[in-house]
Amino acid sequence: MLCRSLRYFRYRLFRWTLTGICCSLTLLFLVSRGKSPVNQYRNLELVEEDPRYYVNCTGIINGDEETVILAKLQTLSIVYKKRPVLSEKDYIDFSKHCSNFTKVQRYITFPLSKEEEEFPIAYSVVIHHRIDMFEKLLRTIYAPQNVYCIHVDKKSPEIFLNAARSIASCFDNVFIASQLENVTYASWSRVQADVNCMKDLLQRNLTWKYLINLCGMDFPLKTNLEMVEKLKALKGANSLETEKTSPHKEKRWKHSYKVVNGKIKDTDINKEAPPIESPMFSGGAYFVASRNFVEYLFKSPKILRFIEWEKDTYSPDEHMWATLQRMPDVPGSVPVNNKFDISDMNSLARLVKWSYLEGDISKGAPYPPCTGVHIRSVCVFGAGDLKWMLQQHHLFANKFDTAVDGIALQCLEEHLRHKAMYNLLNYT
């Protein structure tokens, strides 16, 4: 497998080096004749990952049923399933030579517009496995003016952490969180991972405007410029799911929970009421938050008391952020009145398909059936989901998995790169 991976890298490096030389000569020729250097973007266009796996991404993005079926059949083939997948060691070895790494992987190392350069975005990315998917996500959202905090689960193998460190070392604006947590599903540790990155991001960079938190199975639906435009339109407001708590979820914060043998357990002990005047709300783990919102969390004694109170609740990320967003003193928040409730479909933060809500849109379903598979009722997207997804306003979608449908990610990445490179003038 390692030999195949190295041959694959050499093939891509040789092919892309030739492409880069040709594009660079073209650029020099245009500049010498006083023409616009727009063609430098060609050197950043993604090249087909492997010629053995041809995919008609244009047809998939347009929702052509025959193309989607053919792509699905390809993902089921033994040849496709056994395609080379880069390991942690591959990334460690390859990223030792950062200039080659960023070139071969097609990172965008200069701002694509003045608007983007003047509106940096911060990211908190929590990961624990699948280094190849993390690197693909980073490559797609990377811009030199942004800043990226990567939190690696303490339970992850050392080689995974080393691979993440090695990749991050190739960029001045990408770093591993200064404090790593042993993350347990539905426990406070998941929130603490984001909190650790929040503190690091505030200390490391003084210019970012908004914070977006991600996990390793997220992927963007918008280019960086499109995100900047949507974030600017918020005018300092936050965007996240926040709705009235249903009775069956109240136990999550009315009882005290603790982690036992790596799993969260209900102690059946009633907690004191939350130390806030506003009511509790339910939402999701992901948010789009202004810098003022993040700074306020660590300045307000009232908020700090509330955060401390949240630490022994069940799945605090699914009610803490939602509740903070309804507190009147919090920057960018909205009033507690139910007219201001925001569902996951209305917020910008994350597009998710739940199996029990899928159906016929013409008959009132919020989204069509998943074309991939379901894990814990959440759709792991397939290529057939892309056309509908790209029509939505969300900045990111969850979940993707190259082991389920690598073509979905391949085509989405190609679509976003092409849009960023060749349709730039449409967004400026």
| Cα separation, 428 vs 423, whole angstroms | 10
Could you give the CA distance from residue 115 to residue 111 in angstroms, rounded to a whole number?
Answer: 9
* Options 318, 358, 413, 414, the catalytic residue: 318
Question: Is 304 in contact with 329 (CB distance < 8 Å)?
Answer: no
Q: Tell me phi and psi for residue 95, to 5 degrees.
A: -80, 0
Structure tokens at 351: 């597009």
Instruction: Name residue 242's beta-bridge partners.
Output: 283, 342
Structure letter (DSSP) for residue 274: P
- Residue whose token pair is 């040849």: 79
User: Is there a catalytic annotation at residue 318?
Assistant: yes
* 115 token code pair: 């608007």
Cβ atoms 53, 80 nearer than 8 A: yes
Can you spell out the DSSP letters for 182-231?
A: ---TTSHHHHHHHHHHHHHHHHH-S---EEEEEETTEEESS-HHHHHHHH
413 in the Ramachandran plot: left (φ > 0), alpha (ψ -120 to 50) or beta? alpha
The DSSP result for 172-184, as a single string, is: TTEEE-SS-----
Which residues have a Cβ under 8 Å from the Cβ of 8 and sit 6 or more positions away?
A: 50, 84
DSSP-derived letter for residue 247 is: G
Which residues are part of the catalytic machinery? Answer: 318
